[in-house]
Chains A and B, each alone.
Chain A
Amino acid sequence: MDEHLRKEEKLSYHILLPRFLFRFLFGLHLALFRVAYKNNDPDPRLCVDPTSTVSKTDNGNSNAQIPDPGAHRGHDKNPPIHYGTAFMRQLVWLWNLRISYPQEEILQLADDVSVAFHRILYDPLMALVFATV
């Protein structure tokens, strides 16, 4: 675990600080995190999953404050998601390509963005909301 945390810090995904400092950071909000392993992946991921409540008074922590994606008047907090149509959009694009170029070879290439979610950086003030000890 320690090794994994250090590796992620090296990649600038986290800031690791001595534990005692949490008493001095104004506005710090501690969140539970767990390590998600999937299919024997050698690189497990740190995952903040406060949906597992720890007591009756636990309201699901910071996630509970976030509205559903695309909820009415909640676009600033959680914008609508359109991933569901991605595959159909790809098929429609291929179909239209074939209409335009009936005799041409159509080539494809798939790619993915590494550590996608980490690409979206927090505002420094917001980062404290998801801190973990």
Chain B
Amino acid sequence: MHLVIPVGTIFGARNSPSFYMEAGETRSHLAGSWPDATSLPLQDLVEQVVLPPSPTPAEAAAFAQAIADSQHQGIANPTTANPERRLPSFVDDSCTAHVSWYFRTAINVVVWAASIAFGFPSEDPTHPPCINPIKWIKDAAVRVKFLGFLLDTRQMRVIWPLNKQAKLSALLLELFLQQSPPHRRGSTPQSIAKILGLLRHGAMVAPLGTLQTLRLQFFLNDIVSKAPAKLRRWWQGIRLVLPCPIINDLRQLQSTLLSDELDPRWSRLIGLIIPRDPTHISRSDASMNGMGAWSADLPHMRRLSMADLKVCAIPTHGRHNPQHHEPKAEQAPAHINTLEFFGIFIKLWFLLRSLKETYDADPTTVPPGGFRILALANNTSALSWLQHATRTKHPVVCRLARLLTAFLSSPFPAAFVRVQGKHLPGLKNTAGSSLPILTRTIVGIRYATIPPSSSSTNMPSPARRLVLACLSNQQRTDRGLVRNKNDRTMDSQASAFRSWLFTTAGYSDITLPGMTEPDALAVLATYLDFKARTALNPQTSDPIQAKTLNNHLQAAAAYLCLVTSLSVSIMSSSSSSNPRLTSFFADILRSRAKWAAPHPKRLPYTHAMFQALASMVKEHLATSKSAHLDLLHTVFDWICLGVFTGSRSGKYAQTTAPKGSFAKVPDSWAPPPKWRNQPLVFLLSDFTLLDENLCVMPPHDALKNPKRCCWLQIRYRFDKSTTNFSLRRYCRGKGFLCPAFAALSIIRRATTLQVPCNEPLGVYRSNPTGSYTYLRSSEIITVMRQAVTAACPNPLHHHRINIKAVIAHSNRVTAAEALFSMKLSIEDVAFRLRWKPESVQRCIRECSQFVDDLTAATISGAAIL
């Protein structure tokens, strides 16, 4: 018995592949970028390499070619910065390729680089050489096996080898035997999984193989999902009898195996596998009124109405996704995803038929590497089904997806065509001028109405081009996460209006462009009335507010502007061109405004609540020494600070960003480059700590001597108001409501969690291992309400009854109320909190309860102007 101590990395350690990769990629880098490879001494292994005879001129003339595009321009002009592209290594396997006259030099530098990275054999005779001479393949060839595939450089083709096909064939024959009558013993899940696994390896070059095993895959998935699949004996123990259609699929698949190495069903052109520029681009779109497609490369254009689809027996009943804000009671004619997918199918059929006809007439029309078709559509589900037929189990879509896969696996497309999908934003999916009204998904409606119409201006054409380019740039400008969300809301409101317009008002893409100004105003008024009567707030189920109603009106007006080319001015609710209708708009909005949401909207925090929160934090700290890194303490610190600063939650926490990410300053021309993509919320550099003599204390000094820290100065880098970079200074308090103490705690947490200086300061520990995540406003609200419950145990307490009015904004209310109750004027409160005076007035007017004197005195005494 021994004690075994490994000297080098071992199999099984989770980081073994990663660390080997660093050494392997170092070797690749050396091999690819050594400046004077020809001067290296010839390695022993390289001397043994045998080069094949040169090709005859006839053979050379038959070499499959490659064409340059924006992504590939030859080895002298790499379009990627990847230094390892010359010697790709998959763990220990690598493959060298070069032209014959340079090949020996290329292989020499590869072997030399391996010795540099892993040691020369002469350095340690007891250690085996890194490249084993016994396993060294001496014959260089045009066709080699790498990672299980044959790579043929004359044909420029990837081949699934015959030995793998033979292995698959043997497995299938064994399965047929097990499934054949009269006994039909059935096959084990393990043997089925083996077949699927082997076939998935070849799926990159064999789309047909994937198609023929879709049913088998679904069958196994269904069984596994209901079985104790974690048990190893289950995989080998039970027997599954496969349905006849699956056996038939597999028999067809088996019949294609072992026919020819270059069979297009089991091999593929390299040009069809690697990413390349498309040779053909086509756009398609669909709506509840029909579908259309357009391609400039053939060219062709088509449109089909819903009536055409019904004639073709396309499924015409279904329900649209509820998130499109359509009235659920109305029956939409078909699901938009299915229509979009069907639209892509028809478009591809046209394209491939045309390409096939051209190929039949002249086979030399196929470009080197084959055809690459880029299908652009604005529906991600349809594009997903285009690539993977397995991604849906909806019967109609499933059959359609399989039919499309079978169509693309037929001999001509399989050999020469690769189809790829790409999402195109709805507003851009106009394909010239054929489809703008068919477009269902509306994107960027807020900005789409800005460009002047072609008939309404006498601009010279250069000036017009400049204006359009300027507006186009403006539309593409990054507006940040929050503004983008507002834009999306407007888009969905415009979509809802269009749905109403087409389904209830009876307009169509034919009649809509002919709408006149009076008609447009009347339709808008009717829609506003309809919304006022029927639309409900999804959260409260109350009728929507006047502000939301006005937003609906603006979105509807913008949509009408876009599709009718009518003047913008008449679409505003403040328009004076039709006084009666303007009055009508105003009446509806005013009537709704009178019935605003009942009070209280927001409740301020009281001293008792702060104390309850502090007690919770103390209890938590008693259980764990590192509890100050956790959420509870983090929220406490930011709430404490927030009642002094009066900041929105968006200044210190994430409101709309997904968990684990943070909102950033837009990457547009407006902010200076220094601040682009920086967090919107506070950074460490926004907090400055000062001693009693107003001398700046570096953060680490302040953390070491917290008592010396007397002042906290905050730089409000990005504000919702027009002014950024304003400064406010706060003095140290006496109780636990102290801005300096809260700031120190926040800085200490960020330092402990090793938060980079360009990431938000509002973080907390999300995992005991020390990883952190960014504070979110929803988490703040949860903690604040917990404190309210703890402070007010009586469920009939005013705060408990109105607990939904305790929100992150309560901090702001607390700050404003506290300062106002200490007799500061409205203007002073507005200045100290960086608000508008009207906002302070409204806040105080709407608040149903003032903060207590202790909190007010603490807050008002902490700030200096």
Interface residues of A (CB under 8 A from B): 5, 10-19, 21-22, 25, 33, 36, 45-50, 62-63, 66, 69-70, 72-73, 77-83, 85-122, 127-128, 130-133
Tell me whether A103 and B20 are in contact (CB under 8 A).
no
Residues of A within 8 A of B76 (CB): 100
Which of B140-172 touch A at CB < 8 Å? 140-147, 149, 151, 153-154, 156, 158
Residues of B within 8 A of A97 (CB): 75, 97-99, 153
Residues of A within 8 A of B452 (CB): none
29 residue pairs A–B, Cβ–Cβ below 8 Å: A5-B2, A11-B127, A13-B7, A15-B4, A17-B3, A17-B5, A18-B3, A19-B2, A47-B12, A62-B13, A72-B771, A73-B754, A79-B21, A83-B17, A86-B88, A86-B147, A88-B273, A91-B273, A106-B142, A106-B154, A107-B51, A111-B131, A111-B136, A113-B94, A116-B91, A118-B10, A121-B7, A130-B6, A133-B4
Tell me whether A18 and B2 are in contact (CB under 8 A).
yes
Q: A22-B3, A90-B97, A99-B67 are in contact. Are A130 and B132 (CB under 8 A)?
A: no
Q: Known contacts A33-B10, A106-B142, A107-B141; can you find 4 more A-B pairs with CB under 8 A?
A: A50-B12, A110-B146, A117-B16, A122-B6
Tell me whether A78 and B156 are in contact (CB under 8 A).
no
Tell me whether A89 and B84 are in contact (CB under 8 A).
yes
Shortest Cβ gap from A119 to chain B (Å) = 5
Residues of B within 8 A of A120 (CB): 8-9, 16, 19-20, 23
Residues of B within 8 A of A103 (CB): 60-61, 63
Q: Is B484 part of the binding interface, using a Cβ–Cβ cutoff of 8 Å? A: no
Residues of B within 8 A of A70 (CB): 18
Residues of B within 8 A of A81 (CB): 17-18, 21
Q: Is the interface of A mostly helix, strand, loop or mixed?
A: mixed
Residues of A within 8 A of B369 (CB): 95
Shortest Cβ gap from B110 to chain A (Å) = 7
Q: Is B607 part of the binding interface, using a Cβ–Cβ cutoff of 8 Å? A: no
Complex Cα distance, B111 from A62, in Å, reads 35
Q: Is B103 part of the binding interface, using a Cβ–Cβ cutoff of 8 Å? A: yes
Residues of A within 8 A of B9 (CB): 117-122
Tell me whether B4 and A11 are in contact (CB under 8 A).
no
Residues of B within 8 A of A17 (CB): 2-3, 5
Tell me whether B131 and A113 are in contact (CB under 8 A).
yes
From B772, which residue of chain A is reached at the shortest CB distance?
Answer: A73
Q: Is B137 part of the binding interface, using a Cβ–Cβ cutoff of 8 Å? A: yes
Pick from B89, B98, B158: contact of A106, CB below 8 A.
B98
Q: A19-B1, A114-B128, A116-B24 are in contact. Are A89 and B72 (CB under 8 A)?
A: no
Complex Cα distance, B16 from A113, in Å, reads 15
Q: Is B65 part of the binding interface, using a Cβ–Cβ cutoff of 8 Å? A: yes
Residues of A within 8 A of B78 (CB): 96
Q: Is B135 part of the binding interface, using a Cβ–Cβ cutoff of 8 Å? A: yes
Q: Could you mark each residue 87-110 of chain B with 1 if its beta carbon is under 8 Å from any beta carbon of chain A, else 0?
A: 011111111111111010001001
Q: A33-B4, A95-B270 are in contact. Are A77 and B15 (CB under 8 A)?
A: yes
Q: Could you mark each residue 64-87 of chain B with 1 if its beta carbon is under 8 Å from any beta carbon of chain A, else 0?
A: 111110001111101010101110
Complex Cα distance, B273 from A12, in Å, reads 43
Tell me whether B99 and A104 are in contact (CB under 8 A).
yes
Pick from B13, B25, B61, B128: contact of A82, CB below 8 A.
B25
Shortest Cβ gap from B93 to chain A (Å) = 5
Complex Cα distance, B11 from A36, in Å, reads 9
Residues of A within 8 A of B61 (CB): 103
Complex Cα distance, B131 from A86, in Å, reads 19
Count chain B CB atoms within 10 A of each CB in A5, A94, A111 and give the residue with the most.
A111
Tell me whether A102 and B4 are in contact (CB under 8 A).
no
Tell me whether B88 and A21 are in contact (CB under 8 A).
no
Complex Cα distance, B15 from A130, in Å, reads 13
From A16, which residue of chain B is reached at the shortest CB distance?
Answer: B2
Complex Cα distance, B55 from A101, in Å, reads 14
Complex Cα distance, B146 from A82, in Å, reads 17
Q: Is B130 part of the binding interface, using a Cβ–Cβ cutoff of 8 Å? A: yes
Pick from A12, A66, A105: contact of B13, CB below 8 A.
A66
Residues of B within 8 A of A132 (CB): 3-5
Residues of A within 8 A of B555 (CB): none
Shortest Cβ gap from A49 to chain B (Å) = 4
Q: Is B129 part of the binding interface, using a Cβ–Cβ cutoff of 8 Å? A: yes
Tell me whether B91 and A109 are in contact (CB under 8 A).
no
Pick from A36, A49, A109: contact of B96, CB below 8 A.
A109
Complex Cα distance, B3 from A19, in Å, reads 5
Residues of A within 8 A of B693 (CB): none
Pick from A22, A109, A112, A133: contact of B107, CB below 8 A.
A109
Shortest Cβ gap from A71 to chain B (Å) = 8
Tell me whether B91 and A107 are in contact (CB under 8 A).
no
Which of B428-452 touch A at CB < 8 Å? none
Residues of A within 8 A of B92 (CB): 112-114, 116
Tell me whether B135 and A114 are in contact (CB under 8 A).
yes
Complex Cα distance, B15 from A70, in Å, reads 10
Complex Cα distance, B772 from A73, in Å, reads 10
Residues of B within 8 A of A91 (CB): 151, 158, 270, 273-274
Pick from A10, A62, A80, A83: contact of B91, CB below 8 A.
A83
Residues of A within 8 A of B99 (CB): 97, 101, 104-107
Pick from B6, B110, B151: contact of A14, CB below 8 A.
B6
Residues of B within 8 A of A128 (CB): 5
Residues of B within 8 A of A121 (CB): 7-9
Tell me whether B7 and A86 are in contact (CB under 8 A).
no
Shortest Cβ gap from A120 to chain B (Å) = 4
Q: Is B114 part of the binding interface, using a Cβ–Cβ cutoff of 8 Å? A: yes
Complex Cα distance, B143 from A130, in Å, reads 42
Q: Is B350 part of the binding interface, using a Cβ–Cβ cutoff of 8 Å? A: no
Q: Is B455 part of the binding interface, using a Cβ–Cβ cutoff of 8 Å? A: no
Complex Cα distance, B146 from A113, in Å, reads 14
Count chain B CB atoms within 10 A of each CB in A100, A103, A105 and give the residue with the most.
A105
Q: Is B174 part of the binding interface, using a Cβ–Cβ cutoff of 8 Å? A: no
Tell me whether A94 and B97 are in contact (CB under 8 A).
yes
Tell me whether A94 and B151 are in contact (CB under 8 A).
yes
Shortest Cβ gap from B58 to chain A (Å) = 12
Q: Is B537 part of the binding interface, using a Cβ–Cβ cutoff of 8 Å? A: no
Tell me whether A12 and B7 are in contact (CB under 8 A).
yes
Residues of B within 8 A of A19 (CB): 1-3
Tell me whether A79 and B96 are in contact (CB under 8 A).
no
Tell me whether A47 and B97 are in contact (CB under 8 A).
no
Tell me whether A14 and B97 are in contact (CB under 8 A).
no
Residues of A within 8 A of B274 (CB): 88, 91-92, 95
Tell me whether A12 and B127 are in contact (CB under 8 A).
yes
Tell me whether B144 and A109 are in contact (CB under 8 A).
yes
Q: A86-B147, A94-B156 are in contact. Are A5 and B91 (CB under 8 A)?
A: no
Tell me whether B66 and A95 are in contact (CB under 8 A).
yes
Shortest Cβ gap from A83 to chain B (Å) = 5
The 7 closest A-B pairs by CB, nearest first: A116-B92, A100-B74, A89-B88, A106-B153, A98-B66, A118-B8, A86-B90
Shortest Cβ gap from B70 to chain A (Å) = 13
Tell me whether B19 and A105 are in contact (CB under 8 A).
no
Shortest Cβ gap from B207 to chain A (Å) = 17
From A87, which residue of chain B is reached at the shortest CB distance?
Answer: B147
Complex Cα distance, B13 from A127, in Å, reads 12
Tell me whether A11 and B128 are in contact (CB under 8 A).
yes
Tell me whether A108 and B82 are in contact (CB under 8 A).
no
Shortest Cβ gap from A76 to chain B (Å) = 10
Pick from A22, A79, A93, A111: contact of B137, CB below 8 A.
A111
Count chain B CB atoms within 10 A of each CB in A13, A96, A128 and give the residue with the most.
A96
Pick from B8, B101, B111: contact of A122, CB below 8 A.
B8
Complex Cα distance, B91 from A81, in Å, reads 10
Q: Could you mark each residue 34-78 of chain B with 1 if its beta carbon is under 8 Å from any beta carbon of chain A, else 0?
A: 000000000000000101101100001101111110001111101
Complex Cα distance, B52 from A106, in Å, reads 11
From B754, which residue of chain A is reached at the shortest CB distance?
Answer: A73
Residues of A within 8 A of B530 (CB): none
Complex Cα distance, B345 from A79, in Å, reads 43
